[in-house]
């Protein structure tokens, strides 16, 4: 059995930056154990699988260690595969997922995702977060992930987390963020509990970052940068219960999997 596979660098206009995701269109679902094995073999932060359903597709995401409920960069990559390869006459696609419908639209040279907003609630910092980060943030919020807010980019860049301690948290991911200089805000994202110590660029984190920084800065449209080693840029808009998250995507590889 042979299956097509694509590797896409999401949230970047250049190869070798942004967040690489593998995308595997399937004629029908395989056993979960096979999907997980493919993701582990790919050894990227996420592999996206989708199957045609109605006028769109059913989309699932796997890290090398586990299936997850939402992944922004792999959704962007899947949207690129559909609109630029499989159905090039199509300018938008809707994926059904555990988190509901997710739409990816092609607008000029950007791909724009429409996701549910996940605003955070302020909480006292858990001890595992403080010991895991090794510093005390200005503010801590929680939604799907923890969000630790700092005052400067330098503080965010200097973080060297203890990933074993972060694994003890009751959320799979930790976002750290600060105001930007040439962008509105910067961030990093850690998810060691699902096999991703640091994610290069995390679209789903911006479901929480966008409403936070929109309220704090008093603006709806925001430009963001994830300051991982590979880095990436995102263009976000707060639309109340929804957020749009846009970015570039470039193809790195196309091939076949043999099963």
Catalytic site positions? 46
Q: What is the DSSP letter of 193?
A: G
CA distance 145 to 147: 6
CA distance 136 to 149: 9
CA distance 155 to 134: 11
Task: Work out the number of other CB atoms within 10 angstroms of the CB of residue 137.
Answer: 22
CA distance 200 to 182: 19
Name the CA dihedral angle for 35, 163, 205, 231, rounded to a multiple of 10 degrees: -90
Length of the chain: 259
| 8 Å CB contact between 177 and 214 | no
Q: Terminus-to-terminus CA distance in the chain, angstroms?
A: 5
Q: Is the dihedral of CA 11, 14, 18, 23 positive or negative?
A: positive
> Which among 156, 162, 160, 174 is positioned nearest to 225, based on CA atoms?
156
């Amino acid at each position: 059995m042979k299956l097509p596979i694509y590797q896409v660098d999401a949230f970047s206009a250049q190869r070798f930056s942004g967040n690489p995701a593998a995308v595997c269109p399937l004629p029908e679902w395989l056993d979960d154990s096979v999907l997980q094995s493919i993701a582990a073999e790919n050894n990227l932060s996420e592999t996206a699988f989708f199957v045609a359903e109605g006028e769109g597709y059913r989309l699932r995401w796997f890290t090398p260690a586990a299936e997850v409920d939402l992944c922004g960069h792999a959704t962007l990559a899947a949207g690129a595969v559909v609109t630029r390869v499989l159905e090039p006459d199509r300018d938008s696609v809707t994926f059904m997922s555990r988190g509901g419908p997710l739409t990816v639209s092609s607008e000029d040279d950007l791909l724009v995702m429409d996701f549910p907003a996940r605003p955070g609630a302020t909480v006292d910092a858990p001890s595992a977060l403080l010991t895991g980060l090794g510093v005390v943030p200005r503010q801590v919020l929680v939604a799907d992930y923890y969000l630790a807010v700092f005052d400067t980019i330098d503080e965010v860049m200097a973080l060297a987390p203890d990933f074993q301690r972060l694994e003890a948290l009751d959320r799979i991911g930790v976002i750290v963020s600060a105001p930007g200089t040439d962008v509105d805000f910067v961030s990093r994202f850690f998810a060691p509990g699902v096999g991703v110590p640091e994610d290069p660029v995390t679209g789903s984190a911006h479901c929480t970052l966008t409403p936070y920084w929109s309220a704090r800065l008093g603006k709806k449209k925001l430009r963001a940068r994830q300051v991982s080693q590979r880095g990436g840029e995102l263009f976000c808009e707060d639309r109340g219960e929804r957020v749009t998250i846009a970015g570039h995507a470039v193809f790195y590889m196309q091939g076949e999997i043999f099963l």
